[in-house]
Amino acid sequence: MLNLSLVIHNHQPVGNFDFVFATATERAYDPILGLLERHPAVRLSLHYTGPLWDWLLAHRPDHVERLRALVARGQVELLTGAYYEPILVSIPDADKVGQIRRMTGFLRQTFGVEPTGMWLAERVWEPHLPRPLAEAGVRYTLLDDTPFKMAGLTDDDLFGPYVTEEQGHTVTVFGNVMYLRYAIPWHPVEEVMDWLRAQASAHPGGVAVMGDDGEKFGLWPGTWDLCWGPEAWMDRFFAALERSADWLRTRPLGEVAAELPPLGRVYLSCASYEEMMDWALPPRDFAAMRRVRRELRESGRTDILRFVRGGLWRGFIARYDEVNQMHKKGLWVSRKVHGMPEGEAKARALDHVWAAQCNCGYWHGLFGGIYLFHIRAANYANLIAAESIADSAREGRESWVWTEEGDLDADGRPEIILNTDRQVLTFKPSYGGALVEWDWRAVRYNLLNTMTRRREGYHEELLRAAEESRLILPGQPDRPDGVRVKEPDVHTRLFHDWYRRAAFLDHFLHPDTTLDGFYRAQYGEQGDFVNQPYRVQVKEDPAGLTLILTRNGTVWVGDQPIPVQVEKRFVVTPGNDLLTVHYRLMSSARFILRFGVEMNWGVLGGGGEAAFLRILRGREKVTRRPADTGEVRDVTSFTLNFPYLVRSEPRSEAEGRPAGSEPRSAAEGRQPEVTLTLSVPATLWHFPLEAVSNSEAGYERVYQGTCTLAGWDLALGPDQSWEVTLQVALA
């Protein structure tokens, strides 16, 4: 007799659109419950994440009631987990334990159960986890078979639990069998049952574990017809399981964990599932790893393949500065919140911190991940709300201003943070004196929530398919070697930036530089200011803060290096939504060049029709969209709107609950706008930052922000200076 433990994990992230929750429920989560109701002899484990629980209780309480009945009759075991589904290794231990205890308490209160098994988000494992898991009351979990094989175990060794520990804190771990994960529901039912029968003969009394996403049972492309349509794969599979009760028992994982003794002690290295570890590699290594795996499989060298590993999940934090910024801001804010006195305010702030830790905005695989703008926006909304509560509690007054200095992003170099009751501005003096995060407290929004255009490992597949005419457009039939794309020329939009897209980046461009060259990141930079260090001076008084950033750098005119000094002063004051920036350039020799100040704006919904870029040229108004590319001369100001945000007072906004399942509608209040005014008219270049991302539906361009460059043609003589003031108003 073989035990089969099926574990289905249902998840939607904080900030996802309401229609996605609804569609997933209709096409996957509801059908799974119907399947269990039709096949009462099949028993398994289910895991739902906190954001999905919140949505179901608000919008589909009938689903919760149906599930309650399945739990009550012992057919379904509910697993706990960290409530907002963070990558557990990436958050502080106090938040690990707190989030798990919150989920366990929710399940106890809602279903009357006391779960001791948990789902580990993305099965990302590191050796320190047993201690916080045990402290949170977790007795067992399941991991992919990858780390077990890396520890020297084979497929035949994975039909039972193992015990692992950290400092004497033990947790039981089960191996998630890769064959079952790939076979269900894509291989013929008969083949899967034959495999299970073979394992029952080879491992009597053991357990085969399969844990995977519930969305693959109806929501992923092509799976609705496969699982629930004429082929009815899931019903045929469950019927086959029922007919096999004489040699196969379907049991929730908790029952098996309580009955089977551990096969031994194991210590597992940092790992996740195989695909995740490949995605975490740098682009060149991603492609190389895929080739190595393919060659080893084709040559039958599974003895070597099981020791081949990709990267760590933390590689995403290393590769993407923007992800690192959001992650480290989360750690920064978590420390602030945990330092608050106990009480209702701290509880609200902590809930926002935990919601911001939802994992989907911190990594990238086949699905959107970091390139899903609205998911990043939701994470930042919760971070800003949490920090506003903590800062308000610290100050105890209506308005304030102060400076923080510290290595916020953990790169070994300090950042300068200007805090007011209205704004939080994070500068990197070591990187062009750039502004890398600009939090507008009133709308809980990071105005610089953009993504730099980077090379991805899967871009090689796209380029090769384009060269070989294997691209498949929407509506065209599939072909075995085809690559799906959403537009025919998407492969021509692969532009890769050589510096991080941020704000107040200082460029010296050759007068012949064109908008198209700058857009493609194919131009000559004549100065050494964009990503080089600036000196710092901060002046603080009750009236406000002044941050002075200065660099004595070099501008090349032909082969001639010319010393140039750039000084930029940032001024913020308490109680208002203004930022004033004053530039002063000085040269010790004559030169003629174009100076430009680059800013990259993260406009939620900037790729749609509701967003606009309104440009003032003298008395003439020019209206564009943030997704447009263009040049406008003699510009004195421009305005960006944020159609999916609503202006409110910081204190009342901070009291809100974590960001929900959809962006707020502009109909609920006045649309926020940002207006930048120039004291000296400039030539404005603007264009969208677009990532070419792969998804289950094919390659596509995805809007990630709007770049604006205000430029001036300068002719400076020896010891001459040039000045301009930029004033940014948030309204």
Residue that the structure tokens 């895929």 belong to: 290
Pairing type for strands 76-78 and 44-48 reads parallel
**Ramachandran category for residue 719: left, alpha or beta (phi over 0 → left; psi -120 to 50 → alpha):** left
User: Within a 13 Å sphere around the CA of 342, how many CA atoms are in the beta-carbon half?
Assistant: 0
Query: Are 321 and 378 a contacting pair, CB within 8 Å?
Result: no
Is 213 in the active site? Answer: yes
* Backbone CA torsion sign across 339, 316, 528, 511: negative
Torsional class of 226: left (φ above 0), alpha (ψ -120 to 50), beta (otherwise) = alpha
DSSP at 132: H
Residues 6+ apart with CB under 8 A from 244: 193, 196, 197
What are the strands, taking DSSP E only, across 602-672?
613-617, 620-624, 630-641
What would the two tokens of residue 638 be? 């421009």
Buried b (16+ CB within 10 A) or exposed e, 391-421: bbbeeeeeebbeeeeeebbeeeebbbbbbbb
565 Rama class: left (phi>0) / alpha (psi -120 to 50) / beta: beta
Angle, vertex CA 648, rays to CA 643 and CA 650, nearest 5? 125
For residue 116, what are the contacts with CB-CB under 8 A and spacing of at least 6?
A: 80, 137, 138, 139, 140, 254, 257
- Is 700 labeled as catalytic in the residue annotation? no
**Dist CA 67 CA 674 (whole Å):** 47
**Angstrom distance (rounded) from CA 547 to CA 361:** 31
Q: How many CB atoms neighbour CB 681 within 10 A?
A: 17
Residue type, 413: R
Residue pointed to by tokens 């003895």: 303
Query: Looking at 77, 85, 122, 567, which residue is catalytic?
Result: 122
* 129 within 8 A of 88, measured Cβ to Cβ: yes
Q: Look-up: residue for tokens 């750098």?
A: 553
Q: How far is CA 14 from CA 86, 199, 222, 376, 552, in A?
A: 11, 40, 26, 9, 45
Sign of CA dihedral 516, 519, 520, 522: positive
- Choice among 213, 235, 395, 487 that is catalytic: 213
Distance CA 217, CA 223 (A): 6
Q: Which residues are catalytic?
A: 122, 213
